[in-house]
Chain A
């Protein structure tokens, strides 16, 4: 106990925000958000397609849309969000300490984060997997040909462990080069310091689209070596807040399944389908149960769009990334996106 205290005494200096949060405010995130009048949302420092400021300085992306959907549900206005750009290392302490209300920053849902780190996860908004990108010149076809390779790895994620696991499982060796800053890491890879760059496949596609002259010079190998269910996260201890975040996302998925888009949502208000009526609040009940306005889902669809629209706009065909829907298609189309009944 003593050593723990001494260690904490040292650490207290650097984690002053955590120490000064005060003990009274635990829980009740939802009340706090309503009182402030905006959602404080933790996002990536800049990951094209997921959360990055556009040329007008407005945050856009698949993760940003989760923040906007929650704000739309709570306040009826998707713009009532304040963004906190966070590095991989900063993100968990920022959420734990109460600095942010919601973390939508391509964060993989894992057991230890769900337990030891004191987090709760909302439904996965992007099913990803870790892959390898190599120069097309090498003529590689499979990640299993990477024995002896030097691999550039971004720290602060499960990435380092996954790549070590993959090479151990296949009885191969590699040398990691771990650089904290994205730009420097990508520069090291593109200058040839590493044979391969490893990250989530979506990120590799984003890097290839944004940072190469000719994207065809680089190849993303077919193996995905991990499951990366990227999910928004909240602190433990406020179940009402967890409900709002969870169902705000499910509403977007449900809207896609029902074919309701931001363009036709007004026309859908007169739909005879009881599911649609409940979703859009024509039949009251869902809003009261969540503690928000009855038209909460209508506002989300009107202002942010359904999940399919958000996907295409940010990472799909309508973006530079051109990611296929794959696992992120609706379950009706062979994907994993499935919203439980909203009733």
Chain B
């Protein structure tokens, strides 16, 4: 008896006991919810399972990276939606980062106008709900003229309330080779950058990294392009009936969502960048100046490496937020994953499965982004010895 009491009093046993209780409690609640849902669904005669994914979807999707038709399956429709989500999120992450860094640095500017302007921008976009901003951007897009009165921005590029129509290349074998040359050029540029760094570290002398890297990226594809007889042929948009035929288009929905997400997130990123730069003590800059480094070198070699370790973790959250916020697309008609899945759920009535799939997909996307950013964070983190 006394042994049992003694055991119960030991911190180790207690720790185990509480954890075991917690885990089994969580599992029990989860099991109850799942089994109760399944029982209730079957009791009410509601179909369950994922068999519907192989049935014909029967609805059209406004824009798609793949060739999709109403006769394709629900699964394909959802893949189209997923790709649309990924496209708008990826482009918006890049734009938001660029804009955010520019505004963040501008807010620290000693120029009164620039600083004030950046502050007003940040406070406005951060404090107005994203949904409202999206609706505003979309309304502006829809105020553009109709296709018949489209603005011809530059020859053969038309701006109307159906989006931006622009010519595309007619495909040619030479393009593939030029693309291959571009890839090789990028690989070359990476090697140049690495060599440049090593050269500087071992000899302490600067190396013309930037011009060489640029040349490596630009010259080979251009050379191949010209060498293969410079095949230039355009598929030009032409107004027929209701809309333009030919060429490619960026839809107003995509544009509105892209601008809305980028601008909104840029407001937050700007503040993160500003905090990161301010986190580096001013003494560091002065020390750099005392060593005779140029302001550009100070920013690149002293301030940024230290600022990044402050910036990256909250930046990850912003990227995750942006991706999840892209689901507001349903409000302005961009066919993202949520929009397509909602339609599928409504047509099949299998809401539980559809919502579960959406949750799983967003979870996977978010974990991927978080995983990548954590890897990057470890790379830029300050190494203390």
Residues of A within 8 A of B (CB): 3-5, 7-16, 18-23, 26, 88-89, 92-93, 96-97, 112-113, 115-118, 146-150, 155-158, 160-161, 163-165, 167-168, 174-181, 184-185, 187-188, 191-193, 195, 235-237
Interface positions of B from 40 to 97, Cβ below 8 Å from A? 40-41, 43-50, 58-63, 70-71
**Contact yes or no, A115 B45, CB < 8 A:** yes
Q: Is the CB of A158 within 8 A of B352?
A: no
A116 to chain B: which residues have CB within 8 Å? 45-47, 348-350
Provide the bound-state CA to CA distance between A175 and B348, in Å. Answer: 22
B5 to chain A, nearest CB (A): 39
Question: Assuming the A-B contacts A116-B47, A148-B240, A195-B242, are A19 and B59 also in contact, with contact meaning beta carbons closer than 8 angstroms in the complex?
Answer: no
Contact assessment for B60 and A176 in the assembled complex, using a CB-CB cutoff below 8 Å: yes
Q: B214 near A: Cβ within 8 Å?
A: no
Q: In the assembly, what is the distance between CA of A5 and CA of B351, in Å?
A: 15
Q: Are B349 and A164 in contact (CB under 8 A)?
A: no
> Which listed residue, B70, B242, B331, B356, touches A148 by the CB 8 Å rule?
B242
Between-chain CB contacts (< 8 Å), 28 pairs: A7-B352, A9-B33, A10-B355, A14-B359, A15-B351, A15-B355, A18-B40, A19-B40, A92-B349, A112-B348, A116-B348, A118-B46, A148-B240, A148-B242, A150-B242, A160-B59, A160-B347, A165-B70, A168-B71, A178-B62, A178-B335, A184-B333, A185-B333, A191-B139, A191-B161, A192-B142, A192-B146, A237-B43
Smallest CB gap from A235: residue in B = B44
What residue in chain A is nearest B52 (Cβ atoms)? A116
A8, A148, A188, A237: the one contacting B44 at CB < 8 Å is A237
Which of B44, B49, B242, B253 meets A118, CB within 8 Å?
Answer: B44
Query: What is the distance, in angstroms, from B19's C-beta to the closest C-beta of chain A?
Result: 21
When distances are taken between beta carbons in the complex, the residues of chain B under 8 Å from A181 are 331
Question: What residue of chain B has the Cβ atom nearest to residue A147's Cβ?
Answer: B241
Contacts of A235 in B (CB 8 A): 44
- State whether A164 and B46 are in contact (beta carbons under 8 Å apart), knowing that A12-B33, A178-B333 are contacts in the complex: no
Chain A residues within 8 Å of B353, by CB: 7, 11
* Contacting residues, chain B, for A177 (C-beta < 8 A): 62, 253, 333
Pick from B49, B61, B356: contact of A10, CB below 8 A: B356
Q: Among A117, A168, A176, point to the contact of B349 (Cβ < 8 A).
A: A117
Most chain A Cβ neighbours within 10 Å, of B43, B333, B335, B346: B333
Q: Which of B130-180 contact A (CB under 8 A)?
A: 135, 138-139, 141-143, 146, 161-162
B318 lies within 8 A of chain A by Cβ: no
Given contacts A15-B355, A93-B351, A116-B46, whether A176 and B62 have CB atoms under 8 Å apart is yes
Known: A117-B349, A188-B142. A175 touches B40 (CB 8 A): no
CB distance from B257 to the nearest CB of A (A): 12
Interchain CB contact (< 8 A) of A9 among B30, B47, B62 = B30
Contacts of B245 in A (CB 8 A): 148
Q: How far is the CB of B203 from chain A (nearest CB, A)?
A: 57
Distance in angstroms between the alpha carbons of A156 and B63 in the assembled complex:
19
State whether B360 touches A10 (Cβ < 8 A): yes
Q: Give the CA-CA distance A147 to B240 in the complex, in Å.
A: 11
What number of A-B contacts does a CB cutoff of 8 Å give? 188
The yes or no answer to B37 lying at the interface (CB within 8 A) is yes
Task: Give complex CA distance A23, B39 in Å.
Answer: 7
Q: Which residues of A contact B50 (CB under 8 A)?
A: 3-4, 7
B48 / chain A contacts, CB cutoff of 8 Å: 4, 8
CB neighbours of A195 from chain B (8 A): 242
Query: In the assembled complex, which residues on chain B have CB atoms less than 8 Å from the CB atom of A9?
Result: 30, 33-34
A257 to B99 CA separation, bound complex (whole angstroms): 69
Residues of A within 8 Å of B360, CB to CB, are 7, 10
8 new A-B contacts at CB < 8 Å, known A19-B36, A116-B350: A4-B49, A7-B360, A11-B37, A11-B356, A15-B355, A148-B241, A168-B70, A184-B331
Q: How far is the CB of B36 from chain A (nearest CB, A)?
A: 5
Given A14-B359, A236-B45: A160 and B342 interface contact (C-beta under 8 Å) = no
Residue from the list A4, A26, A89, A97 in contact with B342, Cβ < 8 A = A89
Cβ–Cβ < 8 Å partners of B102 in chain A: none
The answer to whether A19 and B242 have CB atoms under 8 Å apart is no
**A66 shortest CB reach to chain B, Å:** 22
Tell me whether B339 is interfacial, beta carbon within 8 Å. yes
- State the CA gap A15–B357 with chains docked (Å): 14
Quote the shortest CB–CB distance from B358 to chain A (angstroms).
Answer: 9
CA distance A193 to B138 in the complex (A): 10
A168 vs B352: C-alpha distance in the bound complex, in angstroms?
A: 30
For the complex formed, measure the closest distance between the CB of B194 and the CB atoms of chain A, giving whole angstroms: 44
Contact A14 B142 (CB under 8 A): no
B242 touches A11 (CB 8 A): no
Would you give the shortest CB distance from B218 to chain A, in whole angstroms? Answer: 37
CA distance A181 to B333 in the complex (A): 9
Chain A residues whose CB sits within 8 angstroms of the CB of B339 once the complex forms: 155, 178, 180
Residues in B whose Cβ lies below 8 Å from that of A20: 36
Residue in A4, A88, A168 whose CB lies within 8 Å of B346 = A88
B330's closest neighbor in chain A, by CB? A180
Partner among A88, A92, A160 whose Cβ is within 8 Å of the Cβ of B60: A160
